[in-house]
Amino acid sequence: MPEIILRTEHLCKNFGGLKATDDVSLEFERGKVHAILGPNGAGKTTLINLLSGELQPSSGRISFKGYDITDARPEKISRIGIGRSFQKTNILPGFSCFQNCWIGAQSCLITSMRFFRPARHLRMVHRRADHALQLCGLAGKRNQIAGTMSYGEQRQLEIAMMLATEPELLLLDEPLAGMGSEESQQVTALLRELAREQTLILIEHDMDAVFSLADRITVMVDGAELETGSVEQIRNSQAVQDAYLGHADEEVA
Amino acid sequence: MHTVTRPIIVFLCLCLLLLLLFPVVGSSFYTGLVTKIMILSIFTISLDLLIGFTGLVSFGHAAFFGIGAYLLAILFGNLEQINYWWSLTLTLSLTGVAALLVGWLCIRTSGVYFIMLTLAFAQMFFYFFFESPHFGGDDGIFMLNKPQITLATRQLVDLDNEHHFYYFVLAWLVGVYLFLSMILRAPFGHVLIAIKANEQRVRALGYSTPHYKLVSFVIAGTIAGLAGFLEAAHTNFVTPAYLGWHESGMAIMMVILGGMGTLFGPVIGTFIVVLLQDFLPEFTEHWKLIMGAIIIFVVLFLPNGIAGLIFSISNRFSSRAPGGREG
């Protein structure tokens, strides 16, 4: 019996009259890569923002490892082990890569309200920050100022900052957005590496990446869940093709 | 984020040496003036913690300066003998409570709303003192005596002696500088600096950013209260003008001119602004015009203030910065 790490029950989010998330009930298994697909405006990022506490749901329930986290704030969500990366690169541009990861790694302290000893004496934080950089292939860029790196590297750093908090569950909001093919391959390889040990919830437009990475896929349309299944099921689903894949193909062509 | 390199440390030590030697050569007038500037520097350094390190532009920071000064004058002004330890502890803790209350409400907002809210609070305090006959109204309060610094009946420092007072304030200035450098190097400071860069992200990494901002606000407010305490003890006089928006604005100007986010920049900024204010009027009655021109020049050509200029000079001296090890 697979363990359900995260569960949403009848999750709804309304912005005025708009139902951005409409009665979404999903289960995410530990150790799996669960991708969420959907055309633009399907409510994927809203869903991630609900899961990560950036937004509060209008109704419904979210539970993580059996605990109710429906109304938890972003900092709480992060502290209990759910990390997230952002669709728009969201780093500290004036800081070096290492300093960026440091802030993530330092959140392992029970509290950072510590005023006396210099932070650099914290060996554990050091190790975690360096480990996160290494995982993302940025060890060589340790001291480079984040804002001066290429877009792809900044996306990698985005993920490294999240990894530095050592989350149990990773929420990745379009990690490949806006990347060239070479950069995108690098990050796909990184995600595959992470997927071996971690639980990932992945929002992505890049169909090839999704099909090659995901164990399960949920397709969303207009804020609601259209279908959830294995890669094969989704590939062969008529409803999905009508709603999304066919439409996307036309757009690409 | 600036790394304090060795040339900067040498520079700061030289400045300290100058300040240490100054009373030996300086006349009584100038010793008093430099004492006043150092007190104001403690105030502007504390504002730099908010503006330069936490990203909170407070336009009401003078409120805490004024509250510190008024607390000393109201609670202890009529006493024959003022116990320094008691008066300082009480003044600072009450100023801290005031900063906690004001900060608790203000940090919920950000950007221009934070500026307006802190300004509104400061003006509230200003008019409270300005219009209370009990507390001297617009005349302010004169104090009879200065606090007595004694330890087991022995007098340690005689604040009535202007040289003693000078070194006493210098010790506080160095102490505040070292204290703030310490907390900025500690885990707390790392979170503050990151909040200034990107608060949303820091929150998503597991930090309750409002708490950090509030603690920063309280620390800054308390240190401003210390500066107010020293100012009241120095002049034996408090006036509502201490809390006015003009004081807050001048402090922001000193921080920006000197270079925010550097701790020592605001001290330089304070020295320059006060000295210009004192000497320019002797040359021309249009001195405010020259003052304005200098500020415009600095903002346009030295975006990181005078401290930024010092940093770029020092980088030329040090063969190579020791890389970006955090700090």
pLDDT per position as a tens digit, A75-115: 999 999 999 999 888 999 999 999 999 999 999 888 888 99
Q: Nearest CA to B5 among B315, B265, B316?
A: B315
Report the pLDDT value the prediction gives residue A253, as an integer from 0 to 100.
39
Interface of A with B in 158-187 (CB under 8 A): 161-162, 164-165
Is 60 exceeded by the pLDDT of residue A232?
yes
Q: Does B108 touch chain A (CB under 8 A)?
A: no
Q: Tell me if chain B has a CB within 8 Å of the CB of A78.
A: yes
To the nearest whole Å, the CA of B1 is away from the closest chain A CA by 7
Nearest to B186 among A79, A98, A115 (CB): A115
B133 touches chain A (CB under 8 A): no
- B267 contacts B174 by C-beta, under 8 angstroms: no
CA–CA separation, A215 vs A217, rounded Å?
7
The Cα B31–Cα B27 span in angstroms is 6
* Helix or strand run (H / E) with residue A13: strand A4-15
Tell me which amino acid residue B103 is.
G
Digits of tens for pLDDT over chain B (327 positions)?
Answer: 466 788 899 999 999 999 999 999 989 999 999 999 999 999 999 999 999 999 999 999 999 999 999 999 999 988 888 999 999 999 999 999 999 999 999 999 988 999 999 999 999 999 999 999 889 899 999 998 899 998 888 888 899 999 999 999 999 999 999 999 999 999 999 999 999 999 999 999 999 999 999 999 999 999 999 999 999 999 999 999 999 999 999 999 999 999 999 999 999 999 999 999 999 988 888 888 998 898 899 989 998 899 999 988 888 876 554 444 433
Q: For residues A204 and A218, is the Cβ–Cβ distance under 8 A? A: no
| Burial label, B11 (beta-carbon count in 10 A; 0-12, 13-18, 19+) | middle
Mean pLDDT of chain A: 89
- Residue corresponding to tokens 């005078």: B306
Shortest distance between the Cα of B199 and any Cα of chain A, in A, equals 9
**pLDDT of amino acid A184:** 87
B325 touches chain A (CB under 8 A): yes
Q: What pTM was estimated for this model as a whole?
A: 0.92
Q: How far is A239 from chain B (nearest CA, A)?
A: 36
- In the prediction, which pLDDT does A238 show? 85
A86 touches chain B (CB under 8 A): yes
User: Phi and psi of A172, rounded to 5°?
Assistant: -115, 115
- Give DSSP secondary structure letters for A56-121: --SEEEEEETTEE-TT--HHHHHHTTEEEE-SS----TTSBHHHHHHHHHHTTSS-S---SS-GGG
Residue of A nearest to B208 (CA): A75
Residue A177 is predicted with a pLDDT of 84
Domain ranges of chain B: 33-254
- Are B325 and A120 inside 8 Å of each other by CB? yes
- Residue among A102, A115, A123 with most chain B CBs within 10 A, to mutate: A115
Q: B68 and B92 in contact (C-beta within 8 Å)?
A: yes
**Which residue, A31, A32, A16, A40, is CA-closest to A220?**
A40
CA distance A46 to A49: 5
Helix, strand, coil percentages, rounded to 5, for chain A = 40, 25, 35
A162: chain B residues, CB-CB within 8 Å = 205
Please tell me the distance from the alpha carbon of residue B163 to that of residue B169, in angstroms, as a whole number. 10
A91 and B200 within 8 Å at the Cβ level: the answer is no
Pair B63, B126: CB distance under 8 Å: yes
Whole-angstrom Cα distance, residue B282 to residue B280?
5
pLDDT number for residue B325: 40
Query: Does the pLDDT value for residue A139 go beyond 50?
Result: yes
| Single-letter residue type at A188 | T
Distance from CA of A52 to the nearest CA of B (A): 8
CATH code, residues A1-81+167-253: 3.40.50.300
pLDDT at A246: 57
- ipTM (interface predicted TM): 0.88
Among A87, A103, A114, pick the best mutation site for testing chain B contact (most B Cβ within 10 A). Answer: A103
Least trusted range by pLDDT, from A4-8, A180-184, A188-192, A221-225: A180-184
**Least Cα separation, residue B6 to chain A (angstroms):** 18
Q: Is B320 on the interface with A (CB under 8 A)?
A: no
How far is CA A81 from each of CA A143, A170, B38, B106, B300, rounded to the nearest angstrom?
27, 9, 47, 30, 46
Domain ranges of chain A: 1-81+167-253, 91-166
Confidence band of A244 (pLDDT split at 50, 70, 90)? low
Q: Which residues of B290-324 are buried (b: 16+ CB within 10 A; e: fewer)?
A: ebeeebeebeeeeebbbbbbbbeebbeeeeeeeeb
CA atoms within 13 A on the CB side of B30: 11
In total, the C-beta contacts within 8 angstroms joining chain A to chain B are: 107
Write b or e for each residue in B113-143: b if 16 or more Cβ atoms lie within 10 A of its Cβ, otherwise e: ebbebbbebbbebbeebbeeeebbeeebbeb
Cα B222 to the center of its chain, rounded Å = 10
pLDDT at B317: 74
Residue A114 φ/ψ, nearest 5 degrees: -120, 125
* Cβ–Cβ gap A119/B215 under 8 Å: no
- Residues in B closer than 8 angstroms to A166, CB to CB, are none
Which helix (H) or strand (E) segment holds residue B89: the answer is: helix B84-106
